[in-house]
Structure 1
């Protein structure tokens, strides 16, 4: 059998922690090979070994049958291996072309030949159906477009084997469809792809074969055409996973969140939230469905005090909170699971234990007279780490060292433990595996059943449909319809999200 990549019995340790325990991965030429596992299973570590960012303690790597030593990413590039990272490595103030050629500049007479580079970027872009403007500034283009720039970067360097690390974690449904098409085009052009993911639907749609790893060990490799999502989920987490969210009917009580005529501008000074009205009652989950960029981020930031509102009213339990400080809002009974866990959820260079008290460190028992009580802080951290299944070697490990899913579980544990009257969950399962998603959905429903109000914002329509008791559709900064999930479907929601009226979409709720 001819394999383009063979990773044989790879072992990677961090101190006493074994991240990869003798894992074998073999990739055929011209296939999309999925690497599936829970958050923290060791997927990214294994790919960082292949890309030369880590050196393994044991094992062998072969490229096209030849044993190789990949000491750094430049060696990986020379061997035709490119990696599209989950968190993009782009310079915001540079153009698309400047980012792509960085470190591989074309020079003419000692100066960078930007015109020639732009032509080459345009040629590669057209060849692979990427449709990127070579002159656009990174800060001005969408997340989906930024990802295409990362793909172009690897192609520009001559990559034959592309590693995609959780490529759909930050994309809208439309961008995911486009990315899947791009991956299929890359395969037609003779490339091979390793796809790190935990989204079973995507594996079933695009992958040829799938290797599953669990807690650092290889579980097996299967042909995707001969398996199903339930079997893959069982291999991944070690037990059967419930895909359908089990919940009893909601019993909503009084309004907890009341928003009236809210107007909020975005960072460019344009109106993003335009006279929005919405209410969320105690004992219900209201899901906000919408295409990214229709005011969701600005709405959440205005409710939580992270962005100034121009006008309108935001009340929690009848108390006006518009343009109050985030701490005041939080103390008024609002919990917030932010959509960007790195920017607004964690201090990455703090231990995960200290991140668990970011919002109440100044209160007893965590401090007294301005002096932190680390014993109490770490007692609390250990309790939450255990209760919310946060997988970390210890509570003293820096937050940045945890996998994305475990960072998310830590944030959710911290917010739920504060027992807020209103819990705002923005993309709470973005980048999480099915086991973690099931756990988080259960926690959100528990909050609802304890009489709390939950506002869920998600681009995953199946999540909105299955978890919400009511669905509010946002379009161009307004709520254009509120529908009952039992009396609608994804097609109808999609039409409403695209700006069709309820009558045109056929909604009669």
Structure 2
């Protein structure tokens, strides 16, 4: 890729980027949120077209106008959000859109050949809705290989995988690299960059900063290159501050709208002044657990009690968020769905702040000064990259949207803070800013319930870790002394320490 430039209106996403991708190599593409990593790869895979610059494949100048053009050149991209049809089988999804003869038996045979060659495990006849997240990802990878891809781009490939599933994926990627495939991974997890990549390329503010062999660098140097200055990569874990029972959950059972059991007899206590981490494979009930505590999820059985400093109990079950607030319970919730549940995309920053405060007004007119001041504070303290506080939230990158949401929720002095994937999609510098904010809440005596997908972070940040497996509590273990392997095993098989 030579002098690749891409603009979105007045925003310069990529600025004269040079990037070389070699066969038989795993390249890690790094950069802060909004640095242009995904945009650059979207141009290589045919989703966007560059405004300026040239792309060469095997020393030939090419014009990639669509994903089909990219596939014809042997380029395939596996996105963070899978593009699969749930009601179809793996084989049907793999051949969807191809103009070849529709022979599922022949397709299944070819899929098995690909799986045997690289070490995949895929049942061509299995429906997508019966698959785990890692199985769906495997189907996506086999889909691009089936189409003849020699250059594979993976966007945040381990975001929702267990440690064991990540190890399996990395083994497959190494097999493909050894077979001469060119592999590009976009990730924010430095330990994974060190484990799987051969070379690292860094973007900053849309520009190519440099590349280096992974064996010649370390996480600290890579982060400094991404950010442009020295960054401290330590997650503090101060001791719990005067821990007292704050939220007590007993026998909580929740079913989805389809009648599927999401939480099954879940019981635990969250204490003030501590961080309770929630670990589990994606879809094991983490979302439903936080929503039930926040009053957003109907429950089938159980109880959720809020315990005041004087030991008085208030039952939260059956109450909506407004009723919970009217009880004097200061509860903040950072949901998984940022622009669906957390913020309104078409509103600007100060208007989104006002969504949390407009009920506090004492007159018929809304107070616009306080939300404006709060928006300015959040932008300054969390280094939100935005043209101004009047910019609609939907125009911000995912990481900056998350900063706005977390900043707003923390600003309202909660006694209980519920966070679902607070750093999902954030670069390493922004992530450490959020970890620091969460620790500050803990030191103020807030009971923090932190749902995370990065076990390395959970083991460093949380005082205790509750592990969910299939909607049940597999165990509750101390954060200090717990190992990634043990937590990973508890995520896939019931059993472990009890509280």
TM-score by length of 2: 0.89
Confirm or deny that 1:43 pairs with 2:37: yes
Q: Which runs of 5+ in 2 are unaligned?
A: 308-312
Alignment match, 2:76? 82
In 1, Cα distance between the equivalents of 2:230 and 2:262? Answer: 42
Deviation at 1:463, TM superposition (A): 1.5
In 2, Cα distance between the equivalents of 1:96 and 1:324? Answer: 42
Alignment match, 1:325? 320
Deviation at 1:465, TM superposition (A): 1.9
For residues 441-460 of structure 1, what are the structure 2 equivalents within 5 Å?
A: 441-460=435-454
CA contact (8 A) 2:275 2:464 kept: yes
Q: Deviations over 1:325-374 (max 9, x none)?
A: 244346632211223435543444x2452773484265255x975x8777
Confirm or deny that 1:145 pairs with 2:135: yes
In 2, Cα distance between the equivalents of 1:90 and 1:130? Answer: 18
Distance 1:142-1:306 versus aligned 2 partners, 3 A rule: farther
Alignment match, 1:337? 334
Q: Deviations over 1:441-463 (max 9, x none)?
A: 10101111122110112232222
Q: Deviations over 1:78-114 (max 9, x none)?
A: 111111112222233333233222221434xxxx444
Distance 1:158-1:477 versus aligned 2 partners, 3 A rule: closer
CA contact (8 A) 1:277 1:478 kept: no
For residues 14-413 of structure 1, what are the structure 2 equivalents within 5 Å?
A: 14-107=8-101, 112-266=102-256, 269-292=259-282, 294-317=284-307, 318-329=313-324, 332-348=329-345, 350-353=346-349, 356-357=352-353, 359-360=355-356, 362-364=358-360, 380-413=374-407
Distance 1:33-1:303 versus aligned 2 partners, 3 A rule: same
In 2, Cα distance between the equivalents of 1:239 and 1:204? Answer: 21
CA contact (8 A) 1:32 1:206 kept: yes
Deviation at 1:181, TM superposition (A): 1.6
Aligned residues between the structures:
491
In 2, Cα distance between the equivalents of 1:391 and 1:266? Answer: 37
CA contact (8 A) 2:160 2:281 kept: no
Q: Deviations over 1:407-441 (max 9, x none)?
A: 22122112112222111112222332211121011
Deviation at 1:123, TM superposition (A): 3.5
In 1, Cα distance between the equivalents of 2:490 and 2:183? Answer: 35
* Superposition RMSD in Å: 2.8
Distance 1:362-1:117 versus aligned 2 partners, 3 A rule: farther
CA contact (8 A) 1:287 1:458 kept: yes
In 1, Cα distance between the equivalents of 2:375 and 2:355? Answer: 13
In 2, Cα distance between the equivalents of 1:355 and 1:130? Answer: 48
CA contact (8 A) 1:244 1:466 kept: no
Deviation at 1:31, TM superposition (A): 0.7
Bigger shift: 85-94 or 312-321? 85-94
Alignment match, 2:310? none
Distance 1:472-1:252 versus aligned 2 partners, 3 A rule: farther
In 2, Cα distance between the equivalents of 1:328 and 1:124? Answer: 56
Distance 1:105-1:268 versus aligned 2 partners, 3 A rule: farther
Alignment match, 1:4? none
CA contact (8 A) 1:357 1:377 kept: yes
In 2, Cα distance between the equivalents of 1:168 and 1:421? Answer: 33
Deviation at 1:51, TM superposition (A): 1.8
